[in-house]
Chain A
Amino acid sequence: MNKLIFEFIEANKLDILEEWIKTTKETADDRVVRVVSDQVFTSTSREFIDLIIANIKGLKEDYNTRLTDFAEKVVRLGWPLTFVTKGLHTFSTIVFHRMEESGIITKDNQLDIILEFDGWVTPITNEIVSIYSITWEKTVSLQKIALQELSAPLIPVFDKITVMPLVGTIDTERAKQIMENLLRGAVKHRSEVVLIDITGVPVVDTMVAHHIIQAADAVRLIGAKCMLCGIRPEIAQTIVSLGIDLNQFTTKNSLQKGIEAALELTNRKIVKVEGSK
């Protein structure tokens, strides 16, 4: 039975490929056609069909690596998963119809052939879906790590003065890291003043404010002073409307002002040196 299908596909490979490309292009969503050039589309399609055929032939040895390669390639091209699974479906439909037309499929063996078809289409689909999801999971976890790395750095700028610039959205996870890094860093650098710069934080809502207040309280407990800077005018207004009490904080509108104030607190100032040139 398997041999029957396989021989038929082998014999009509080019026709099937042509029809497949035609149908797929007609039904595919614009997204796919737009991002991929004709040439790439045709060659990838050929690869796809070859892969399916290789699977039917039962060339198991390098089949898995080829499938992985293919799936990775498709992911790189940005083809949606539905497109690939639909393509697989289209392929089997075409083959089935053609076999029906040429009289290979009769009423008697119809069910057997359908089962046989299903038997090789389903594993390919499963495999592709699983490779897809693995690739995505990998991307997501890598991005998470990357995000963590730029999450909450603490920078010692002067003796006893450290700055933590915050950029981007603060969620619960980051808030936790901010607190940890802030405390560990403040102790390690023997900071007396810690500046939290929120210039890059797009929205300061009650949760963000709450986390910052908690962090500042904790910093105070370890004997340092916390200063909030980089408060943009619109953020200042929303904080007032929300009714958040930041009275315990020294706040400054820019990091520069903050550093000047921090130097003052530690009895220092920046002076211009004359006659150096």
Chain B
Amino acid sequence: MSIQSCVTIINEWDIVAARQLGRNVAKELGFGTVDQARITTAISELARNIYLYAGKGQICIDKLYEDGKAGLRINAADNGPGISDIRQVMEDGFSTSGGLGAGLPGVKRLMDQFEIESSPGNGTQIKATKWLR
């Protein structure tokens, strides 16, 4: 079972809105402050990627209930240019925009599960899940 709410990312302030949404859902599910910070940071990274590289996209937050566990899933989707070499972007220190290049590998470390689907021309879909324990 999952319950979803979404924020469309078009400008820089939408990143803040997505983050706020994530923080509220995390709070509702009973995540502690450290996990809340992890989740909001992960959302911030994913939303900023959408804003920087795709221009437009959506961040959706799911509440998950599976096998008596509760969790939060971030769905980031865009129809941007896509990523040609996923292995490369998951490496620390790789960036095409002159940033730190810690975004995607960082999100993977911040969350429990991480899935990425992308190819040039087909946009990017990322699912990152954090379980409550």
Task: Point out the residues of chain A lying under 8 angstroms from B105, CB to CB.
Answer: 243
Q: Quick check: A209 and B100 within 8 Å, CB to CB?
A: yes
Q: Quick check: A243 and B37 within 8 Å, CB to CB?
A: no
Task: Point out the residues of chain A lying under 8 angstroms from B110, CB to CB.
Answer: 238, 241-242
Q: Quick check: B19 and A203 within 8 Å, CB to CB?
A: yes
The smallest C-beta distance from A148 to any residue of chain B, in angstroms, reads 15
The smallest C-beta distance from B102 to any residue of chain A, in angstroms, reads 5
The smallest C-beta distance from B41 to any residue of chain A, in angstroms, reads 5
Task: Point out the residues of chain B lying under 8 angstroms from A203, CB to CB.
Answer: 19, 37, 40-41, 44
CB of B70 within 8 Å of the partner chain: no
Binds B, one of A25-33, A96-104, A229-237: A229-237
When A209-B100, A234-B34, A234-B37 are in contact, do A242 and B109 touch as well, CB less than 8 Å? yes
The contact string, 1 if C-beta is below 8 Å from chain B, for chain A 195-222, is 0000000111111011001000000000
Q: Quick check: A205 and B34 within 8 Å, CB to CB?
A: no
Question: Complex formed: what's the CA distance from A209 to B109 in Å?
Answer: 17
Q: Quick check: A207 and B99 within 8 Å, CB to CB?
A: yes
When A206-B45, A233-B34 are in contact, do A241 and B106 touch as well, CB less than 8 Å? yes
The smallest C-beta distance from A266 to any residue of chain B, in angstroms, reads 31
- Mark out the residues of chain B between 64 and 109 whose CB falls within 8 Å of any chain A CB in the assembled complex: 92, 99-103, 105-106, 109
Q: Quick check: A205 and B48 within 8 Å, CB to CB?
A: yes
The contact string, 1 if C-beta is below 8 Å from chain A, for chain B 1-42, is 000000000001100100100000000000001101110110
By size class, the interface of chain B is 20 to 34
Task: Point out the residues of chain B lying under 8 angstroms from A213, CB to CB.
Answer: 100
Q: Quick check: A207 and B37 within 8 Å, CB to CB?
A: no
Q: Quick check: A205 and B44 within 8 Å, CB to CB?
A: yes
Closest Cβ neighbor of A207 among chain B residues? B48
The smallest C-beta distance from A151 to any residue of chain B, in angstroms, reads 15
By size class, the interface of chain A is 20 to 34
Closest Cβ neighbor of A237 among chain B residues? B34
Closest Cβ neighbor of B99 among chain A residues? A210
When A169-B16, A241-B109, A243-B109 are in contact, do A202 and B40 touch as well, CB less than 8 Å? yes
Q: Quick check: B102 and A206 within 8 Å, CB to CB?
A: yes
CB of A108 within 8 Å of the partner chain: no
Closest Cβ neighbor of B16 among chain A residues? A169
Task: Point out the residues of chain A lying under 8 angstroms from B37, CB to CB.
Answer: 203, 234-235, 237-238
Closest Cβ neighbor of B44 among chain A residues? A205
- Mark out the residues of chain A between 236 and 277 whose CB falls within 8 Å of any chain B CB in the assembled complex: 237-238, 241-244
Q: Quick check: A242 and B41 within 8 Å, CB to CB?
A: yes
Closest Cβ neighbor of B111 among chain A residues? A241
CB of A171 within 8 Å of the partner chain: yes
CB of A172 within 8 Å of the partner chain: yes
Q: Quick check: B41 and A204 within 8 Å, CB to CB?
A: yes
The contact string, 1 if C-beta is below 8 Å from chain A, for chain B 101-132, is 11101100110000000000000000000000
Question: Complex formed: what's the CA distance from A210 to B52 in Å?
Answer: 15
Question: Complex formed: what's the CA distance from A221 to B95 in Å?
Answer: 25
Q: A234-B33, A244-B102 are in contact. List 11 more A-B contacts (CB 8 A).
A: A202-B19, A205-B48, A206-B100, A207-B48, A209-B100, A209-B102, A234-B37, A235-B37, A238-B110, A241-B106, A243-B105
Closest 8 CB pairs of A and B: A242-B106, A234-B37, A205-B44, A234-B34, A241-B109, A238-B41, A206-B100, A206-B102
24 A-B pairs (CB sep. < 8 Å):
A169-B16, A202-B19, A203-B19, A203-B41, A206-B45, A206-B101, A206-B103, A206-B106, A233-B34, A234-B33, A234-B38, A235-B37, A237-B37, A238-B34, A238-B38, A241-B106, A242-B41, A242-B106, A242-B109, A243-B105, A243-B106, A244-B100, A244-B102, A244-B106
